[in-house]
Amino acid sequence: MSEQPLTILAIGGHVGDMELTAGGVLASHSLKGDKIVTLALTAGERGVPAGQDMKEYRKQKVSEAAEFAEMLGGESIVFDIPDGELANNEDMRYRVCDVIRKVRPNVIITHFKNSMHKDHMTTHLIVNDARFFAGLASFERENPAHFASRLYYAENWEDAVDYKPYVYIDFDQEAYDLWVKAVSRHWFVTGSKSFPYLEYYKHLARVRGIEARKTYAETFMIPAETMRVLKTEL
């Protein structure tokens, strides 16, 4: 367990993005006593199952986000923005800034910069700027300034162009089992016919674990300006 419990804010373009790509690490930290908060900028309701009403599926997605977070002892936030219509503007940056200032995370996890999905790329841009605004004391909002010192970009098959694993974070069987149980509450993870999400990410966690000489792991990129190793000797 951390000397001081961490607060981790995982921000995705849709419900399920962070739960899949960083869920093992989130589960691991939750078991260590750290606080987990997920924020989805849209619910991701356009992935609605055939024959189901999209408005009802949105409600289901919000419920799935809440259930995942509750199983990790955390909380979920889902913005009321239509899937696929996430705007790359200052208002969105301010809204995310306000969440950061309210949650006061030590760590933020979000999407990598490149993606086949518009909402993912837009989320990346929004979060980077919102983190800056949140830490700027002269930028007056309802809550006082807070700077999240650690920023990670999760590994996602949809965000794969130029992604290269930089940080490996391992987790044990208990965290893996909790993650699989929690993320399986999301319909698209187990029911989608377009991509075998659960199978892919379960195998990826094992592959990354093997690469790290561990059982399971998830990988992350970090901002380019922080990619440095400081040493006083070889």
Which among 79, 172, 177, 161 is positioned nearest to 117, based on CA atoms?
Answer: 161
Whether the pLDDT of residue 215 is over 80: the answer is: yes
pLDDT score recorded for residue 1: 45
Query: Residue 191 has which token pair?
Result: 């029911």
Give the percent of the chain with pLDDT over 90.
96
Contacts of 11 (CB under 8 A, 6+ apart): 18, 38, 39, 40, 41, 96, 108, 109, 110, 123, 127
Q: What is the pLDDT of residue 173?
A: 98
For 186-212, the pLDDT digits (tens) are: 999 999 999 999 999 999 999 999 999
Radius of gyration of the chain (CA): 17
Whole-number percent of the chain with pLDDT over 70: 99
Residue 13: Cβ within 10 Å count: 31
Q: Is the pLDDT of residue 95 over 80?
A: yes
pLDDT average, residue stretch 95-122: 97
The domain locations on the chain are 7-226
Domain at 7-226, CATH homologous superfamily: LmbE-like (3.40.50.10320)
User: What is each CA distance from 105 to 4, 51, 72, 148, 185, in whole angstroms?
Assistant: 12, 39, 16, 6, 25
User: How would residue 3 be classed by pLDDT, with cut points 50, 70 and 90?
Assistant: confident
The token pair that represents 116 in the structure block:
């086949």
Nearest-angstrom CA–CA distance, 110 and 132: 14
Asked if residue 2 has pLDDT above 70, the reply is no
93-108 burial code (b ≥16 CB/10 A, e <16): bbebbbbbbbbbbbbb
Tell whether the model's pLDDT for residue 160 goes beyond 80: yes
CA distance 40 to 32: 24
| Contacts (Cβ under 8 Å, ≥6 apart) of 54 | 45, 46, 48
Tokens representing 138 are 């002269």
Order of strands, edge to edge, in the sheet holding 35-42?
75-78, 35-42, 7-14, 107-110, 150-154, 216-221, 167-171
What mean pLDDT value characterizes the chain? 96
